[in-house]
Amino acid sequence: MKRFLAVVLAVAMVAAFVPAAVADGEIITVDLENIITTAADYTVTDKLITVNANEGDTVLIQGDGTPNGTDGGWRVHVTGTATDITLAAGTVIIADNGHALQVPGDSTITGKGDDITITSNERGIYTNGGSVTITGTFGDITGNDRGIYAVGGSVTITGTLGDITGGFNGIVADGGGSVIISGTTGDITGTGGSGTSGISASNSVTISGTVTSISGTTHGIRVGGRGGSVTISGTVGNISGGSYGINILEGTGTFTVKGNGVAFVSGTIWATQDHKSGILFVGDTGTVYGNVTLKGELTIEDGQTLTVPDGASLTVPSGVTLTNNGTINSRSGGITGEENISGNDVIYPPETDESEKDDTEPDEPYTPPSTDTTTTTETSETPFFAYFEPTPPVSDADTPSDWAKAAVEEARKLGLIPEHLDGSWRRWLNRAEFAAFAVLLYEHLDGRTITAWSLFDDTTDANVEKLAGLGIVKGDGTGKFNPDGNFSREMALTLMYNIMIKLGYYLPSAEPNFSDADSISPWAREAIGALQRAGIIKGDGTRFNAQETFSREMGVVTMAQILEWVG
């Protein structure tokens, strides 16, 4: 008898901690404003409401679960099989000690109002072991860890959501999962420290809907699987990250804009680009790919440029407005529906009058200037004159020296000055800062974004990794680059020379003949001699000062002189 009673008591104790199951096909209502601790269809433990749903059940969550006083708010965990979960208008789930809404894998969550908010100190919406589909209408979803998180599955958004924010990542689909957005969302943001992303997925990110912006401290969009993809056929505002706008692991995947998609990306795109038909802005430079029909309102901001190149076309249909506050360049006949473009006029190439064609002989081939540097004189009439003072003082002056002003103005127009280095012109460049200038020069001359990369142990600077991937910089041979170290003039100019050679420009060789040429290191002599013979550098008139450090304005002047030589 005693043994029988012990067994009965043990079973009763276990039953008290097991969520109650309900019959198939039931509607289970959880009213966050009227929690029944003795309810038959859910259990309540320490602000946690646990519902064990069977196949075919629908869980209806309603009410404002905002905590009173210092108590944590209600959090809801639905267990069991894949389930339909509906949140009524005005539902507020707020939790300070766990995931706000946890659901079984392959569940669908439907919102019934834009006043629905989900907030958690961990994850806003979480599923472990499958996918989750979010449809209907929601307000903001926030998690101090992740906003929406699917482990072992995908996140699909077909509804209309507010902002999605995670203290680490905004949306995550791990374990082979993807993120698919065919609906509409506000800002998707990862706000934490290094490594955070707006969207992070194992396999792919596909956006055919509308997203206001996607941003992370390190990545805007990150795909962690080799050979993954990012495809945009909808409209996405600024995609930005501190290091990468879009990063597909090891650059092995493909970024595609297609199907009249429109995307704005700030930061490096670390992926192969294969754009079919759409509009892509990288920074302030936009390009139309293929034949595009604008599906919604679009604004070209002041300072931005959109180009319709040969082979592409842009149609702005009636009822859709393209506002041009910046610049639109188009081939003749490249735009249909120009009457639907407001703001600045479209710029077309000038028409050529056959009677006014120039019959004169073409320009003479380029002839390198004299290598005599003994009588060099600085003059404001010589554009981009590569004149370097031997020891310019360290200064935070935002105004460049007189000999650099023309080069700085021209480089700024061409977008060749990194935003964070536009000023303090007489300060010395460190190695990572110089890499930022060098990458802009390389991509400007090549006309393409660098997709190669190589890593160092002591920096994650994207520009350094790009140059290393091209083989232009190699670090110290021990896996380190020393990003904060100064660049000497011979080091900086050897790197510029290597960029020109990498891009296929031929500079005739010559020995440097500066008065202090003996101070130039053996490994730099070929580069310095060729640049001097080409007239790209002239030192201070007689001396080169090889071991002096290299300032920001010197870097810009050298780039401008290279561009002038290239023509």
Per-residue pLDDT at 397 = 57
Residue listed under structure tokens 């961990």: 122
CA distances from 282 to 146, 182, 390, 415, 495 (A): 27, 23, 38, 12, 25
Residue 124 has pLDDT above 70, yes or no: yes
Angle at 122 between CA 111 and CA 124, to 5 degrees: 10
Is pTM, for the whole model, over 0.85? no
Tens digits of residue pLDDT in 240-297:
998 889 999 866 789 999 999 999 998 788 888 888 899 999 888 899 999 999 998 9
Residue 201 CB partners (closer than 8 Å, separation 6+): 154, 172, 173, 177, 178, 179, 222, 223, 224, 225, 228
Q: For residues 231 and 180, give the distance between their C-alpha atoms in angstroms, rounded to a whole number.
A: 10
342 strand-pairing partners: 323
Please check whether residue 189 is in contact with residue 146, taking contact to mean a CB–CB distance below 8 angstroms: no
Q: What is the pLDDT of residue 442?
A: 92
End-to-end CA distance of the chain: 102
CB-neighbour burial class of residue 153 (10 A; exposed 0-12, middle 13-18, buried 19+): buried
Q: Please, which pLDDT band fits residue 542 given cuts at 50, 70 and 90?
A: confident
The pLDDT value recorded for residue 291 is: 93
Dihedral, 326, 329, 333, 335 alpha carbons, nearest 10: -30
Specify the 3-state DSSP secondary structure of 218: coil
Which DSSP state fits 451? -
What is the CB neighbour count within 10 angstroms for residue 521?
Answer: 13
Rounded mean pLDDT, 182-206: 93
| Distances in whole angstroms, Cα of residue 224 to Cα of each of 137, 153, 301, 399, 453 | 29, 14, 33, 44, 16
Residue 451 has pLDDT above 90, yes or no: no
- H/E stretch holding 157: strand 155-157
Residue 408: exposure state from Cβ atoms within 10 A (0-12, 13-18, ≥19): buried
Q: How many CB atoms lie within 10 A of CB 288?
A: 25
Residue 469 — very low, low, confident or very high, per pLDDT cuts 50/70/90? confident
Cβ neighbour number for residue 413 with a 10 Å cutoff: 9
**3-state SS assignment for residue 213:** strand
Residue 458 pLDDT:
83
| pLDDT, average across residues 157-161 | 97
Report how far residue 151's alpha carbon sits from residue 154's, in angstroms, rounded to the nearest whole number. 8
Greatest CA separation found in the chain?
Answer: 118
pLDDT band for position 24 (cuts 50, 70, 90): low
Query: What are the structure tokens assigned to 180, written together?
Result: 């698919």
Using the CB atoms, write b or e for 111-130: b if 16+ within 10 Å: bbeeebbbbbbbbbbbbbeb
